[in-house]
């Protein structure tokens, strides 16, 4: 047998061994159970008294049951369960009036359990909430100043337009109209704002 033929056979054996090993590795990876969340994380930017709902898809179910848990005590995050937790699932975020501005972190833990009640995989979905106020309290017409024009804007809103349903017009900053901070807009806010502008009344208290 020539040297060339020997080298060829040795190369062929090495290639065959590599393919066998690679095949074994591929099989072991394919058999692993792996949850994937889409999106892998969630971010929300809200003002106080605002809420929103978002949807998360979980892939690679493979017949396993899913359990959803909110890690830590996040009072602003609520999973929307169907009869049983299945993908896709939904999350409600709701911010009450007393929540301070800032960044809040939470986590949803999704656990996959097989028919023998064994945990086959877990996935964590980080949820970040930014609470901001990008308006000046009392600046109902959003012109950067608090003055008599804002009083007029609130009065028009209350007694002429009667809200968005009547005339399709609302103040630029609805949240900025609740100057006494009681989570509703009415004539008391007008009185409070006039008192603040012309009589040095107490500070505006929008949430
Ligand atoms: Ca203004
Ligand atoms: Ca009010």
From the CA of 190, which ligand is nearest? 2
∠ CA(44), CA(180), CA(136), 5° rounding? 50
Give the start-to-end residue ranges of the domains of the chain: 1-32, 36-131, 148-199
Q: Decide: 176 and 134 in contact? Cβ < 8 Å.
A: no
Task: Give 125's strand partners.
Answer: 108
**Nearest by Cα to 206 from 173, 157, 160, 165:** 173
CB-proximal residues (5 Å) to ion ligand 2 = 178, 180, 182, 189
From the CA of 141, which ligand is nearest? 1
Q: Could you read off the pLDDT of 125-151 as tens digits, one per residue?
A: 999 998 876 678 999 887 889 999 999
Q: What is the mean pLDDT of the chain?
A: 81
Q: What is 36-131's CATH topology? A: Immunoglobulin-like (2.60.40)
From the CA of 193, which ligand is nearest? 2
Q: Please tell me which residue, 62 or 52, carries the higher pLDDT value.
A: 52
Q: Could you read off the pLDDT of 78-128 as tens digits, one per residue?
A: 888 666 556 778 889 988 867 777 899 999 998 888 888 888 889 999 999
Q: Could you read off the pLDDT of 166-191 as tens digits, one per residue?
A: 666 677 677 889 999 888 899 999 99
Residue 123: count of CB within 10 angstroms of its CB: 18
From the CA of 185, which ligand is nearest? 2
Q: List the structure tokens of 30.
A: 């394919």
Task: Give 90's strand partners.
Answer: 55, 80
Å from CA of 148 to ligand 1 middle: 8
Å from CA of 68 to ligand 2 middle: 38
Report whether the peptide linkage leading into residue 39 is cis, meaning its omega lies within 30 degrees of zero.
yes
């Amino acid at each position: 047998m020539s040297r060339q033929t020997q080298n060829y056979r040795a190369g062929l054996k090495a290639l065959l061994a590599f393919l066998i090993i690679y095949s074994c590795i591929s099989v072991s990876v394919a058999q692993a159970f792996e949850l994937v969340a889409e999106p892998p994380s969630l971010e929300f930017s809200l003002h106080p008294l605002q809420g929103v709902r978002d949807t998360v898809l979980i892939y690679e179910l493979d017949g396993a049951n899913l359990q959803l848990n909110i890690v830590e005590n996040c009072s602003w995050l609520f999973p929307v369960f169907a009869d049983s937790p299945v993908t896709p699932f939904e999350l409600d975020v709701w911010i009450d009036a007393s929540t301070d501005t800032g960044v809040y972190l939470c986590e949803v833990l999704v656990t996959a359990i097989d028919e023998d009640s064994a945990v086959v995989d877990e996935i964590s979905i980080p949820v970040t909430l930014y609470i901001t106020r990008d308006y000046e309290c009392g600046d109902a017409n959003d012109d950067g100043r608090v003055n008599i024009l804002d009083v007029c804007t609130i009065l028009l809103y209350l007694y002429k337009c009667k809200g968005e349903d009547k005339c399709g017009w609302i103040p630029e900053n609805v949240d900025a109209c609740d100057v006494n901070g009681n989570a509703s807009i009415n004539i008391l806010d007008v009185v409070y704002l006039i008192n603040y502008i012309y009589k040095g009344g107490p500070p505006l208290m929008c949430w």
